[in-house]
Amino acid sequence: MRIVVIGASGPTGRQLTGQALAAGHHVTAVSRRPRGLPRHDDLTVVAADATDPAAIEPAVAGADAVLSALGVTPSRKPVTTYSAAATAVVTAMRRHGVRRLMVVSSSVLDPAWRPSNAFFFNHVLDPYVNRVLVRQVHQDMRRMEEVIRASDLDWTVVRPSGLFEHPTVTDHLVADGSADGVFTARADLAAAMLRELDERRFPRRAMGVATTAVKPGLVQLVRDEVLRSPR
Ligand SMILES: NC(=O)c1ccc[n+]([C@@H]2O[C@H](COP(=O)([O-])OP(=O)(O)OC[C@H]3O[C@@H](n4cnc5c(N)ncnc54)[C@H](OP(=O)(O)O)[C@@H]3O)[C@@H](O)[C@H]2O)c1
C-alpha cells in the first residue's frame, strides 16, 4: 500500500513509519521539520504543514491511505491545529479520490471512558490533567473528530489512552469507542492502526487502543513525556 503518515517525525509517527516500512508498504512521511526518520528506498519525505491544503495535496495524491499522528504541545492557549489539519487533509483526499483516513485522537473524547481499577487516575489525574490542563487540545480534537465524521471518507478515529514509549509491540486491546486502560504504548498504537488498515473492523467509527502487557513507571513517564524536548 502507499501510505501517507502525517506527523511522521513525532514519536507515534516514527513508529507508524517504521512498522509500515517493515511490513512492505511505501510511506510518504509528512512533517514540518522532518527529522529522525530512517533512510529507506520505500520512504518519501515531504516537508509540509498539514494545515496548509496546497502543501499537503502533492503528498496525498496517489495514496491508498492517510494516517495522521500529528500533535501539539498542550498549553492553555486555544488550539486549532487538529481541526485545521483535518479540514485540509479531508479536502486534499476528496480532491484526489483517496478514501481511507485514520487519525489519532484520544480516549478522553469518549465521555464513557472510565478505566477499571484506576481510582487515582479517574478521580484526580483525569479530572485535573485531561479536563483542565489539556482542555484546549481535547476541545480541538473534538472539532477534528466532527470534521472527519462529517466527511464521506472511509475513516476511523483512533483513541489511545496515556501514551508511553515501549520498544516493541505487546499485547493490547482494541475496542469500539475507547478501550479499558489508562495507558497505550506508541508501538501498540501504530500496530493497531496498521492492522485496522487490513481488517477494517471499525469503519466510520472510533477505535480505542490500550496496552495490557506492560505499564510505564512514574520516572519513565516524567522523563519521556513531561521533560522531553519540545515538539
Ligand atoms: N500524550 C498522551 O498521553 C496522549 C494521549 C492520547 C492521545 N495523544 C495524542 O496522540 C497524538 C500523537 O502523540 P505523540 O506524542 O506521538 O506525538 P506529538 O509529539 O504530539 O506530535 C507529533 C508530531 O506532529 C507534528 N506536527 C505538529 N503540527 C503539525 C503540522 N501543522 N503539520 C505537520 N505536522 C505537524 C510535529 O512534528 P513537526 O514539528 O516536525 O511538524 C510532531 O512531532 C497527538 O495528537 C497527541 O495529542 C497523546
* Residue 231 included in any domain: no
Fill in the DSSP letter of residue 131.
I
Residue 152 and residue 193: Cα distance in Å, rounded? 20
Asked whether the predicted pLDDT for residue 227 surpasses 80, the reply is: no
* Residue 108 included in any domain: yes
Instruction: List, for residues 118-141, the tens digit of each pLDDT value.
Output: 999 999 989 988 888 899 999 999
181 Cβ inside 6 Å of ligand 1: no
Q: Which residue reads 502487557 in cell numbers?
A: 213
162 Cβ inside 6 Å of ligand 1: yes
Instruction: Decide if 142 contacts 207 (C-beta within 8 A).
Output: no
pLDDT at residue number 161: 97
pTM above 0.95, yes or no: yes
* Residue 124 included in any domain: yes
Sorting pLDDT into bands at 50, 70 and 90, what band is 65? very high
Sorting pLDDT into bands at 50, 70 and 90, what band is 230? low
Please state the domain count of the chain: 1
* Residue 61 included in any domain: yes
Residue 188 and residue 168: Cα distance in Å, rounded? 8
Residue 26 and residue 10: Cα distance in Å, rounded? 18
Sorting pLDDT into bands at 50, 70 and 90, what band is 217? confident
> For ligand 1, what atom is nearest to the CA of residue 70?
24
Domain that holds residue 38: 2-226
Query: At residue 66, what are phi and psi to the nearest 5 degrees?
Result: -120, 125
> For ligand 1, what atom is nearest to the CA of residue 186?
16
With DSSP H G I counted as helix, E B as strand and the rest as coil, what are the percentages for the chain, rounded to 5?
A: 40, 20, 40
What integer is the mean pLDDT of 69-89? 95
Could you tell me whether strands 205-211 and 100-104 are parallel, antiparallel, or unpaired per DSSP bridges?
unpaired
- Residue with CA nearest ligand 1 atom 24: 70
71 Cβ inside 6 Å of ligand 1: yes
Looking at residue 26, which CATH number applies to its domain? Answer: 3.40.50.720
* CA 7 to ligand 1 centroid distance, Å: 6
83 Cβ inside 6 Å of ligand 1: no
> For ligand 1, what atom is nearest to the CA of residue 49?
32
At 154 the three-state DSSP class reads strand
* Residue 30 included in any domain: yes
Asked whether the predicted pLDDT for residue 204 surpasses 80, the reply is: yes
Residue 80 and residue 32: Cα distance in Å, rounded? 16
* CA 231 to ligand 1 centroid distance, Å: 8
Neighbours of 61 (CB within 10 A): 15
* CA 69 to ligand 1 centroid distance, Å: 6
Residue 143 and residue 121: Cα distance in Å, rounded? 25
Residue 81 and residue 89: Cα distance in Å, rounded? 12
Sorting pLDDT into bands at 50, 70 and 90, what band is 5? very high
- Residue with CA nearest ligand 1 atom 42: 10
186 Cβ inside 6 Å of ligand 1: yes
